[in-house]
Amino acid sequence: MTQPTALPAPPPPVSVPPTAPGDPRISRVVLSRFLRHRLAVASLIVLVLLAVCCFGAAWIAPYPRNAQNLLEASQPPSGTHWLGTDSIGRDYLSEMFYAGQLSLAIGLGVALLATLVGTAAGAVAGYLGGWPDEVIMRVADLFLIVPPVAVLAVSLQGLGPSPLTIVVVLSGLGWTLIARVVRSRVIQLRHQEFVEAARVIGASGPRIVVRHLLPNLTGLIVVNVSLSVAMAIILESTVSFLGYGVQPPKSSWGNMLTQAAGLIGTSQSYLLYVPGLAILVTVLAVNFLGDGLRDALDPRGRQR
Amino acid sequence: MTRYALRRLLASVPVVCVASFILFWAVRATFDPLAKLRQSVDPTGLRRETVRLGLDRSLPEQYLLWVKGFVQGDWGTSTRTGGTVLPMVGDALGTTLQLVLWGVALAVVLALAIGLYSAARQYSAGDHVLTGLSYLGVAMPAFWFGLVLIQVLAVWPKQQFGLADPPLYFVGLHSVGHGGFDLDYLRHLVLPVVTLTVGLVASWSRFGRATLLEALSSDYVRTARAKGVPRRRILLRHALRNALAPFVTVVAMDTAALVGGLVVTEQIYSIPGMGKLFLASLETGDVFVLLPWMFVVAVAVILFNLLADLSYALLDPRVALR
């Protein structure tokens, strides 16, 4: 990052902006505002339960991973197999938990990586302006033209569909959204008094961005993380469904749906509903959580 | 306004060039268009085809050759089917546009109706139900919804009532021997159109509700109320007219994304449109189809975005385009 202001002074202690998350009074206000958002709290509980079930599958799931029992293949739900078994005799509930590991991990990974890259790019573009701004935003424009599923399929075809490349490629798509939002907010803020003040006392460019501008964007960034998780989970399941995403023997909710799609019209068509509902519930909960966090973190929010 | 439109179109030329070159490079780097020929027993065939397709030259040269042919109307031949590309892309585009047209028309009507109802009766029971449904619509993966529709509305009734064929078809747009606009076409159309509409209605109705509420809380609406203008007239003449400009913009921009974005819907319902063409070409590395495909999609996006801006200026006289 270059330094736009060249004031040769040592970085003095600078007052933390009024909305910094470290302030104990502020975090108490945020917490109490969040707790009043009942739907968001319920969503948080649902998400925690899902995460515990999926990532604790080794202890919680009733059967071990990929445990096949061909004698019990294609059974309807029963006391021993709560969701029945698939065509090679695996317990469907256990498979759901194990598949959820990958779906949730990809969703979270994409959200964090995309937000990190997008925030950095947006902040640099907005704060520096000029040619860095021009270059970054033109690259972001490129992604507007081509449909996301097409970008995903081409790049996963080329790079190979390991979970890590899926995360990288999905983040490569997702960063543009947050970059635009962060950029426009930084442009609004960069000439406000507290930024000018920081510059006058000699704070460096990176320090102004990290300590003064970004804390003001906390709400925006947190909401974007939740939006990206939702988007990533849906996109992952979509590309896995098309055959370019997670490949069997690995499983995610998306490729469980691919297999269940072949069961349409058979007595086992109910297996179609389970992974789809898991995706639906996760995305819904993440969206509600995002709404709650936005209301809680928005510094100009109403004191309800 | 014409000058503005022309300048916007000119400005998008470099973006399309860069995007198409990146796609060209990405596909050529990962695919061998002559893979089939390499197993052939005729040793001269490989050499001949390499020279004929210009594959012995450098990538930028190949790209320029392709651009030259493309501009002259020679879009090349598909390495997958051996047919000429221009009619292939044309047919696929025609098919996709049918879906887009019906889907967007249905979605606009539903979204406006829901938006008007929700805005007129904010926080009523009906508003809450519709809000909940729109959250569901946004969170639902489209392909899963499509599969569930096939099971519930086509396969299940057929099995349950022992019908000869399902009440709603889920393969293609016409049965064999049918064509044009008839009952058969409509029975094919319902499921894919509903599948692609759900997400659109969900997000457009939320957006419509928000812009209508904003208009309803403005000063001119308060003035109209004070003068005693009837509620219905306020809603339709004062609020709706002002909310329409941003609404149309969002509709046009989302429609742009549909032209190349129906990959999943077309895959589920085996409809030979742009999405299906893309998948088939990608599986075989058919770069001579993928490039025109991307070009057509990019042009559609640019045109619809331009349309969005122009319609905003037309609907909102305060906006001047320079």
Judged by DSSP in three states, B77 sits in strand
Query: A265 CB near a chain B CB, below 8 Å?
Result: yes
Residue A13 confidence (pLDDT): 44
Look at the block and give the residue holding tokens 């585009």.
B93
Q: Would you say residue A1 lies in a domain?
A: no
Domains in chain A: how many in total? 1
Residue A14 has pLDDT above 60, yes or no: no
Confidence of residue A78 (pLDDT cuts 50, 70, 90): confident
Residue B133 host element (H or E)? helix B125-139
pLDDT digits (tens, 9 = 90+) for A108-134: 999 899 999 999 998 888 888 888 888
In chain A, the N- to C-terminal Cα span, in Å, equals: 40
CA distance B188 to B171: 7
The predicted model gives A266-285 an average pLDDT of: 84
Q: Would you say residue A181 lies in a domain?
A: yes
Residue A23 confidence (pLDDT): 63
Residue A9 has pLDDT above 50, yes or no: no
Which residues are CB-neighbours of B224 under 8 A, at least 6 positions away?
B234, B238
- Domain membership of residue A242 as a residue range: 26-69+81-302
Q: Quick one: closest CA in A to B303, which residue? A: A145
Residue A4 confidence (pLDDT): 47
Q: Quick one: closest CA in A to B136, which residue? A: A284
Tell me which of B9, B143, B274, B286 to substitute to probe the interface with A (most A C-beta atoms closer than 10 Å).
B143
Tell me which of B31, B133, B147, B282 to substitute to probe the interface with A (most A C-beta atoms closer than 10 Å).
B147
**pLDDT, chain A, mean:** 79
CA distance A224 to A215: 15
Q: Quick one: closest CA in A to B302, which residue? A: A145
pLDDT digits (tens, 9 = 90+) for A197-242: 888 888 888 888 888 888 888 878 888 888 888 888 888 888 888 8
Alpha carbon A281 to chain centroid, angstroms: 15
pLDDT digits (tens, 9 = 90+) for B102-114: 999 999 999 999 9
Q: Are A155 and A172 within 8 A, CB to CB?
A: yes
CA distance A239 to A256: 12
Q: Would you say residue A120 lies in a domain?
A: yes
Chain B residues lying within 8 Å of A230, measured CB to CB: 139
CA distance A287 to A293: 10
Residue B12 confidence (pLDDT): 77
- Spell B54-90 as b/e; 16+ CB within 10 A means b: eeeeeeeebbeebbeebeeeebbbbbbeeeebeebbe
Closest CA of chain B from A33, distance in Å: 21
Among A32-46, A72-86, B57-71, name the most confident range. Answer: A32-46
Residue B37 confidence (pLDDT): 67
The predicted model gives A181-187 an average pLDDT of: 85
Query: A218 CB near a chain B CB, below 8 Å?
Result: no
Residue A207 confidence (pLDDT): 85
CA distance B10 to A248: 46
Which residues are CB-neighbours of A87 under 8 A, at least 6 positions away?
A73, A74, A268
- Asked, as a colleague might, if the bond just before B230 is cis with ω within 30 of 0, I would say no
Residue A2 has pLDDT above 90, yes or no: no
Would the CB atoms of A145 and B301 count as touching at under 8 Å? yes
Residue A5 has pLDDT above 50, yes or no: no
**CATH, residue A60:** 1.10.3720.10
Residue A93 confidence (pLDDT): 81
Q: Would you say residue A14 lies in a domain?
A: no
Tell me which of A134, A139, A143, A145 to substitute to probe the interface with B (most B C-beta atoms closer than 10 Å).
A145
Q: Would you say residue A236 lies in a domain?
A: yes
Residue B201 confidence (pLDDT): 92
Which pTM value belongs to this model? Answer: 0.81
Closest CA of chain B from A261, distance in Å: 7
Which residues are CB-neighbours of A21 under 8 A, at least 6 positions away?
A27, A30, A215, A218
Q: Are A252 and A74 within 8 A, CB to CB?
A: no
Would the CB atoms of A153 and B143 count as touching at under 8 Å? no
Alpha carbon A152 to chain centroid, angstroms: 17
The predicted model gives A281-293 an average pLDDT of: 86
Residue B35 confidence (pLDDT): 67
Residue A263 has pLDDT above 80, yes or no: no
Among B120, B73, B318, B101, which residue's Cα sits nearest to residue B216? Answer: B120
Would the CB atoms of A276 and B147 count as touching at under 8 Å? yes
Type of residue at A298 = D
Return residues 146-175 of A near B (CB < 8 Å). Answer: 146-150, 153-155, 157-158
Q: Would you say residue A219 lies in a domain?
A: yes
- Taking chain B (322 residues) in runs of 10, the rounded mean pLDDT of each run is 80 78 75 67 70 72 80 76 81 90 93 91 88 87 87 81 77 74 82 90 89 88 90 88 86 85 86 88 80 83 83 77 63
Chain A residues lying within 8 Å of B19, measured CB to CB: 142, 145-146
Query: A134 CB near a chain B CB, below 8 Å?
Result: no
Q: Would you say residue A15 lies in a domain?
A: no
Q: Are B292 and B85 within 8 A, CB to CB?
A: yes
Q: Would you say residue A243 lies in a domain?
A: yes
Instruction: Give the number of beta-carbon pairs within 8 Å between A and B.
Output: 108
ipTM of the complex: 0.80
Residue B105 confidence (pLDDT): 94
CA distance A226 to A293: 9
Position with higher pLDDT, B42 vs A189: A189
Residue A45 has pLDDT above 80, yes or no: yes
